[in-house]
Amino acid sequence: MSELPVATNGLDPNGLACVSSSPLMGKRRQASGRLLLFIATIVIFVVRARAEQEADAGQKLFGQHCAVCHGSFGEGGSGPDLTNASWQATVSDADLLHIIGGGVRGTAMPGFADRLDSESMRSLVRHLRRFASEALQPVSQGKAPKSQVTSERLLAAHRDIDNWLMYGRDYANLRFSPLEQINRENIKNVVPIWSFQTGVPDGLQATPLFVDGVIYLSTSWNHAFAIDARTGAELWHYKRRLPEKLVFCCGPVNRGLAILNGTLFMATLDAHLVALDAQTGRARWDVSLGRIEDNLSATAPPIVVGDRVLVGIAGGDYASRGFIDAYDAQNGRRLWRFDTIPKENEKNVETWSGDSYKGGGGGTWMNGSYDPELNLIYWGVGNPYPDHDGDAREGDNLYTDCVVALEADTGRLRWHYQFTPHDVWDYDGVNEMVLVDLDLQGQKTKALLHADRNGHFYAIDRGNGKLIYAKPFVRVTWTRGFDSSGRPLVNPEAIPTVEGVTVCPGAAGGKEWNAMAYSPGTQMVYLPVIENCAVFLNNGVKARQLNLPEGESGFRYLPNQAYGKVMAIHAATGELAWEVKTRTPMAGGMLATAGGLVFAGDPEGNFSAYDAKDGRILWSYQTGSGIRAAPISYRLDGRQYIAILSGMGGAVGGFTGAGAPWMKNYRSGDALYVFALFEPGASKRYHAGAH
């Protein structure tokens, strides 16, 4: 081995200068290093302190001059969102300075040049840029196109073959697609094309919108996404900043969006209505519907009528007061409100004993329907509060468990029909109203179809509110029929007691909120059915008067006796056409198509296609998680697609419980699945969203 070179006379063997490693020099180097570290620490501290001082100054200025309109975090209020990364990328610092100084003509944004010096305005700009750095960032380079869904286009939604423009596809809530590329003969060749994982927990219950190549989707906890429908790539993601204190029943869910022109509308868990730019996800305005302190929240899909956004409210399982609101789509100004429970001295307040009307529930937590010819809105109203203690609120408790017909321009009540007067079983009345013209004895009748949780399928004249028929579609024991006026005859043995009484159907009813569908081709209604009787108990007012020991008020399902059905009913008569039994109660919505198919998902994760004529199962796909949402169909580039959200969540025990104990440990999920007919070679041009 060769020897290692030895340095001599301060030179290394190659003649390069080297430093002596004597003990004295080592100590000097350590001291010098400590000094440099100390200086660097001081510099960093000074820089950070200055940055924090600037940040504090910007935050203080923003709080003083901007937060009242744009929110404390800049995420929008009566003024637009200032944090959106896509929007911030379109404006320079000079643009922001110009806006801050001069304002925006024609809006509520004032100029501050006479109140703030140039350094203060620059401090505000730096603060706005910090907002953007902390906001959700785009995950792809794709951009959503500008959307133009006019009110005229919404009126013609039933004729728009390609798109799905509102929750029920059209104002009648038919959930019928005229597309027939996928049909009985070729359904066996349908395959998944792509899927999208939201990454948001606690289930998916929304119906997506499809508008001109983009899917708009809302999730639990008030997230919203825009997705490229060709590739499944995310275009933008909105996440609402929710307060820590929230009051809601049955999960932090959201059931869908509405759209007008280039704006999306979403109701939120903190009882707000927010308007989002459909191209960027940026909040344009944000208004309060009510107060969390009043036990209010909002989960319903809004409906747009003309230039108005109509939305309901949740909270009926607590002491609250329900309503239906209409807002100006342009600026969020409230135009009218219909209170679902009369106030003092108003008509029908006498249907509430004492002052029970003050917190009597009546939530409106699902969507409405609209008849443009009659200019009437039809909306279901939920249960009275307290749910099971009728002694605390004697009377019919109007307008709970009703469908109300409201004038679209004013919110004035035209008529109402009450499905369950003095409800003590939590049957609600919020399930969707499907508008169909029926041929009755040779005459066309403008009808409203409704499958209620109380177990009856209704047809009502939507012009005057008169009952056409009401027929049970599951086992019903709470009523013994109807009188000549259409009022149910309550079975006194079904009233909840301290000991408990068995009643059919259970609280989730014969059908939950999940949507049914109607096919003009078969003239049948297709609905997801729950068979699940329950024991109802009331340890309320009378129990306390008798000084009985404290006990529960509510219900419990009969063990292992629950099951479900996919059912078809003849719309003209209410008679059963066919039914297919399912192991677990059905709690996903329906889709009917011109291809002779009915699509539905079940709580065990199966997404299936049925023959619309006879109910034969023709195709099925296991999605990996239970399904509570409803499918949609759309056409893009000449190809028909079917889309469904899979993600079990919400009040699962509310429709299964002891009746279906195998659902106790259900699999959660968060995926959107998109299907189409198999196409050889399609993968060669599919780029998985890359740009």
Catalytic positions are: 426
Nearest to 257 by CA among 309, 334, 331: 309
Q: Are strands 590-593 and 176-177 parallel, antiparallel or unpaired?
A: parallel
What token pair was written down for 132? 């953007």
Q: Is 411 left (phi over 0), alpha (psi -120 to 50) or beta?
A: left
CB-based contacts of 677: which residues, under 8 Å, 6+ apart? 181, 182, 186, 189, 190, 191, 639, 640
Burial of 325 per CB tally in 10 Å (0-12, 13-18, 19+) = buried
Place of tokens 């990996």: 624
CA atoms within 13 A on the CB side of 512: 29
The string of DSSP codes covering 405-432 is EEETTT--EEEEEESSTT-SS---S-S-
Whole-number Cα distances in Å, 682 to 191, 192, 215, 294, 605: 12, 12, 21, 54, 27
Q: Are strands 320-321 and 360-361 parallel, antiparallel or unpaired?
A: parallel
- Starting at the edge strand that comes first in sequence, how are the strands of the sheet with 369-371 ordered? 369-371, 376-380, 402-407, 413-418
Tell me the residue length of the chain.
691
553 neighbors 388 (Cβ within 8 angstroms): yes
Cα diameter, the chain: 120
385 neighbors 361 (Cβ within 8 angstroms): yes
Q: 23-65 vs 118-134: helix axis angle to the nearest 10?
A: 100
Cβ atoms within 10 A of the Cβ of 534, count?
26
193 neighbors 182 (Cβ within 8 angstroms): no
Amino acid at 397: N
601 neighbors 622 (Cβ within 8 angstroms): no
- Angle subtended at Cα 48 by Cα 46 and Cα 53, rounded to the nearest 5 degrees: 95
Cβ atoms within 10 A of the Cβ of 668, count?
15
CB-based contacts of 638: which residues, under 8 Å, 6+ apart? none
287 neighbors 79 (Cβ within 8 angstroms): no
What token pair was written down for 259? 């759209």
